[in-house]
Structure 1
Amino acid sequence: MKDFIDVDEKLPVLKTIPLSLQHLFAMVGATILVPMITGLSPSIALFCSGVGTLLYILCTKARLPAYVGSSFAFIGPMGVATKAYGQSSMLSGIIAAGLVYVIVALIIKLVGIKWINRLLPPVVVGSVVIVIGLSLASVAIQWSGLNSTFTSPALEGISRGTWIFISMTTLAVAIAGTMYFKGFFGVVPILIAMVVGYILSIIFGAIPSETLNQIGSAKLIRLPSFVLPTFNINAIMLMAPIAFVTLAEHIGHVYVTSNVCGRDFAKDPGLHRSILGDGVATMFAGFVGGPPNTTYGENIGVMAITKVYSVWVIGGAAIIAIILSFIGPVSEVIGNIPLPVIGGVSVMLFGIIASSGFRIFVEDKVDFSKKRNLIIASVIIVLGIGGGGINFKFAGADVEIAGLALATLVGIVLNLVLPQTSRSGDN
């Protein structure tokens, strides 16, 4: 007798709901953290993750159990684009990134996947992932209270010491949970840490009484904060190239999910369908004011623990997320998570992103004794973290490619043009 629930098996509602909640809890912490960092509404992020997951299920013919949520890879470019061009213009960059996914899915359908491996080898992907994490490091330090020059009007009522205590306790719980929690609790340490930090914030006055009153008096039903996009070529040029990095992450998730479920999802329903689903979900988010979406590794962990691989369970989690996004008190609670709590978990999360780049180097045995790899990684990291950019005119408009987008594009070009061995004769 088998000890797992297969992909297309439908469960009774009373069994589906608790399993769906496990998937939702596994991703909700990270999903709401991205919009809070980038100035978007957490409720719209929940809404977009739910609708995006249903769109993903539709695109994959309900054959691939995966939940999509907010992507951390876009945090830096989203912040830059919002500050420079405005939130609605930034959303056009999200739509463009989703369109890149759709185009890549079409090309994979026609010619296969080998070209992606040529375009995005581990040395390029790993270097860009390192830049994504390290470029956010200063933000985590500020929000955790460790930068004495950084202040926030929302925290004027508490001392710097209290601020640091809350953030570091939150960080400690996240670290302890990641290291020592087992079973389902082992896949939701971020959520648990944020709950602990929230409680501490209430105790020490980091959440003003008027905010608590606002939460208590919130209307039961309230629409998420929808925002319409505005076309902006600069935001598009800034954010679209990041899709090539998240593509590598997405492909990795599909292969890991295949191993967990004992299926070859790259063939059925096909990698092109999975990438298409991610792209459609991201484009939808851009059209309504949400962050770009990506498949979540946390939900793969939930499936590995529960041995329930049913797409029906994933769909149930998506529907619950949509419902929660319309509940006013829930929106107020997640929309008022204090800065020290966000800062505490960000110290670990942003560091994990950067470390994931080094992990790619190790797992794929990138040889840095070769000058080619050394040059590609070095140029990507300096261009990405240095904050420089280039400006030019396109169709009469001033266009800028800067930061991570510039680093990604230059890295791709260097990988294509540099020879495997140097002319000097050595590596």
Structure 2
Amino acid sequence: MKLGLGWKLYGDGSAPPPGAVVKPDERLSWGRTAGLGAQHVVAMFGATFVFPIVMGLDPNLAIMMSGIGTILFLLIVKGKIPSYLGTSASFVGAVTAIRAAGGDSATVTGAILVAGAVLALSGVLIHLLGPHVILKAFPPAVTGAVVMLIGFNLAPVVATAYWPYDQWIGLLTMGFVVLATVLLRGFLGRITILLGLIFGFVMSWLFDRVFGMASVPGDEPGSVVDAFRVDLSGVAEASWIGLPSFHAPDFQTSAILVALPAVIALIAENAGHVKAVQEMTGEDLDPHMGRAIFADGVATTLASSVGGSPTTTYAENIGVMAATRIYSTAAYYVAAIVAILFGLCPKFGALIAATPSGVLGGITVVLYGMIGLLGAKIWVENRVDFANPVVLVPLAAGLIAGIGGVEVAFTDTFVINGIALGTIITLVGYHLLVWLAPEHMVPRPVGARPEGDEGAGIMVVGTGDDTALPEAAKEERAVEGADKEGPDRT
């Protein structure tokens, strides 16, 4: 079976001329390929280790499993879809809810493992039935609401878990990330979270020198102690080479129900990224979309089975390809191997774990808001009609129930709330109303024409793909997007 491991040398292996494209099955010289791999490592690095910290999981293990997951992904898609699998943000809200209910890391990874298995099965179904089933099961209105739930449900975490410990460092870090995202261009503009982390570390060190100790979280949950913001004693004690911390998952039904809604967001995210790569490479990747979703599910299942973080394809690395026009999967194998080596360095993990709470507060304010607004982005790109009560009513009810903390208790130990409840209300309510509504009120996909009209089409969730739009609409979209530099970062 061809696994996409045989790369043809592009020309003489030197840098391609401006405008030229290096295809996924091609490569430059190994020296240049290694350099490209390093770029992909930097691009995925910030979010891949920040999200495990936020979820209370081992960042070293997350980095290592991201490399293993990427290799597994590339093998499953047979090298057709160049992508890097970093830590997924879609589970952050669920993990927060699970821990708030008393769950530990084993419960968290058990819930993620089941969600990963469901994602893998979804990929198999999509491969067998065709990518159009994504839109039928999870239309843009529903997908946008679920993504918004995942992001905005995290707002209390910032307000209670990070920000109060050091509001001024949080404010400075947040301000830096916001300004850097707008002012920095090119590659630096794509790693602003990593730059914000570095900035926050430096400012925390300066505050320690100028203002002395601060109230920081203690070793016991909920405890507070006076200490310096930056404590690198754990880095000095950690060894240079060693295995990260593994643990077995534990399966709790209530936790699993909380984590399952993230599957919807991951299906939409993967589909959007496949379409973005398709537009850049000019290759028809729709037949491989099911494989990509299956591969992400398998990688998430494998990572969580040993205590690692969930994975997803990364838009940051798609942005690197858009900037370089080099789509060689060889560079991703290099990046994956580098990530695995980083994961085998406990000293590196100890440095990440020393991130001050104020820095995390400043970063998560931006990150959580961006996750939530991606839901609105899906609505806008797919022109969701909120004047239609079939759309408006179930989404309104689901969002308020999910974000507001409404609970439905079946027993003393089995309670559905937060993201899980909001998703159920949105998904069931939407499809029920579509089934009951008269024909003229049934929402139609962007570009769909009345029944019987030839050429009707659909837009894939969250991709901005114009294949289904009339020519005039395509021209309008082209003018609006003419100044964009590649795909949006997520």
CA contact (8 A) 1:143 1:342 kept: no
Shift of 1:310: 0.8
Equivalent of 2:283, from 231, 239, 263?
263
Query: 1:372·1:421 contact (CA, 8 Å) conserved in 2?
Result: no
Q: Determine whether 1:329 maps to 2:347.
A: yes
- The answer to which structure has the higher helix fraction is 1
Match of 2:357 in 1: 339
The equivalent of 2:167 in structure 1 is: 164
Find the counterpart in structure 1 of residue 53 from structure 2: 36
> Residues of 2 paired with 1:426 and 1:241: CA distance?
27
Report if aligned partners of 1:144, 1:168 keep a CA contact under 8 Å in 2. Answer: no
* 1:193 lines up with 2:196 in the alignment: yes
Tell me which of 229, 234, 243 is aligned to 2:263: 243
1:410 aligns with 2:430: no
> Which residue in the other structure is 2:121 paired with?
103
Out of 69, 72, 77, which is 1:55 matched to? Answer: 72
**Residue 98 of structure 2 corresponds to residue 81 of structure 1:** yes
- In structure 1, the residue corresponding to 2:189 is in which secondary structure? helix
Residues 300-339 of structure 1: matches in 2 within 5 Å? 300-339=318-357
| Deviation, structure 1 residue 390 | 3.1
* Equivalent residue letter for 2:62: A
Q: Is the alpha carbon distance of 1:209 and 1:169 closer, same or farther for their aligned partners in structure 2, counting shifts above 3 Å?
A: closer
* Structure 2 CA distance for aligned equivalents of residues 400 and 376 of structure 1: 21
- The question of 1:380 aligning with 2:398 is answered yes
User: Which one-letter code corresponds to 1:230 in the other structure?
Assistant: D
Percent sequence identity is 34
- Provide the rounded CA distance (Å) in 2 between the counterparts of 1:174 and 1:119: 36
The reply to whether residue 371 of structure 1 matches residue 389 of structure 2 is: yes
Q: Residues 25 and 289 (structure 1 numbering): CA distance in 2 closer, same or farther, change over 3 Å?
A: same
CA contact (8 A) 2:201 2:230 kept: no
- 2:434 corresponds to 1:419: yes
1:273 shift after superposition: 0.7
Larger radius of gyration between Structure 1 and Structure 2:
2
Alignment of 1:226-237 (within 5 A): 226-237=246-257
Does the CA contact (< 8 Å) of 2:390 and 2:441 recur in 1?
A: no
Determine helix, strand or coil for the equivalent of 2:49.
helix
* Structure 2 letter corresponding to 1:195: I
SS of residue matched to 1:419: helix
Query: Alpha-carbon deviation of 1:167?
Result: 1.8
CA positional deviation for 1:59: 0.9
What SS does the aligned partner of 1:275 have? Answer: helix
Greater mean alpha carbon deviation, residues 7-16 or residues 35-44: 7-16
In structure 1, C-alpha distance between the alignment counterparts of 2:390 and 2:182, rounded to whole Å = 37
Displacement of 1:100 in angstroms is 1.1
Change (3 A) 1:251 1:222: same
Residue aligning to 2:219: none
- The amino acid of 1:287's aligned partner reads S
Specify the code of the residue in structure 2 equivalent to 1:330.
F
Counterpart CA distance in 1 for 2:277 and 2:158 is 31
Normalised by the length of structure 2, the TM-score is 0.78
Amino acid at match of 2:318: I
Distance 1:29 1:209 in 2: 20
User: What CA distance in whole angstroms lies between the structure 2 residues aligned with 1:422 and 1:4?
Assistant: 49
Structure 2 residue 185 is the aligned partner of structure 1 residue 175: no
Q: Give per-residue Cα distances to partners, 1:313-357, cap 9 Å, x unaligned.
A: 111111111100111221111111111111111111111112111
Name the SS of the counterpart of 1:324 in structure 2.
helix
The equivalent residue for 1:202 is 205
1:197 alignment partner AA: G
1:143 Cα deviation after fit: 5.2
Give SS of 1:220's match: coil
Distance 2:80 2:48 in 1: 24
8 A contact 1:124–1:377 mirrored in 2: yes
Alignment-derived partner of residue 160 in structure 1: none
Distance 1:399 1:141 in 2: 27
Distance in 1 between the 2:134 and 2:397 partners? 21
Paired residue secondary structure (2:20): coil
TM-score, structure 1 as length reference: 0.89
Residues 371 and 422 of structure 1 are in contact (CA less than 8 Å); yes or no, is this contact kept in structure 2? no
Question: 3-state DSSP class of the match of 2:232?
Answer: helix
Q: Is residue 289 of structure 1 aligned with residue 307 of structure 2?
A: yes
Displacement of 1:200: 1.4
The code of the aligned residue for 2:115 comes to A
1:93 correspondence with 2:111:
yes
Q: How does 1:352-371 map to 2 (within 5 A)?
A: 352-371=370-389
- CA contact under 8 A between 1:142 and 1:343: conserved in structure 2? no
User: Is residue 205–residue 230 contact of structure 2 (8 Å, CA) maintained in 1?
Assistant: no
- 1:11 deviates by 3.3
CA contact (8 A) 2:150 2:262 kept: no
| Residues in 1 aligned to 2:230 and 2:435: alpha-carbon distance in whole angstroms | 62
Q: 1:19 corresponds to which residue? A: 36
**Partner amino acid for 1:219?**
S
Instruction: Report the alpha carbon displacement of residue 208 of structure 1 after superposing the two structures with TM.
Output: 3.5
* 1:86 CA drift (Å): 2.2
- The answer (yes or no) to whether the contact 2:243–2:344 under 8 Å persists in 1 is yes
Which sits farther off after the overlay, 112-121 or 211-220? Answer: 211-220
In structure 2, C-alpha distance between the alignment counterparts of 1:211 and 1:112, rounded to whole Å: 52
Separation (CA, whole Å) in 2 of partners of 1:213 and 1:392: 47
- Amino acid aligned to 1:194: L
SS of the residue 1:72 aligns to? coil
For 2:93 and 2:306, how far apart are their aligned partners in 1?
20
Kindly indicate whether the alpha-carbon contact (under 8 Å) linking 1:7 and 1:310 is maintained by their aligned counterparts in 2: yes
1:375: how far off? 0.5
Greater relative contact order: 1 or 2 (C-alpha under 8 angstroms, separation 6 or more)?
A: 1
**2:460 corresponds to which residue?**
none
Q: Which amino acid aligns with 1:311?
A: T
Inter-partner Cα distance in structure 1 for 2:141 and 2:379: 7
Aligned positions, number: 407
Q: Is the 8 A contact 1:170 1:341 kept in 2?
A: yes
Deviations 1:349-408 (A, max 9, x none): 111112111122211111111111111210110121122333447xxx964432111221
Cα pair 2:232 2:354 within 8 Å, conserved: no
After superposition, what is the alpha-carbon deviation per residue over 1:187-239, rounded to whole angstroms, capped at 9, x for unaligned? 11111111111111122227849832331342111211111112222222221
2:113 maps to a residue whose letter is I
1:309/1:226 Cα in 2 relative to 1: closer, same or farther (>3 Å)? same
CA distance, structure 1, for counterparts of residue 197 and residue 65 of structure 2 = 21
1:351 aligns with 2:369: yes
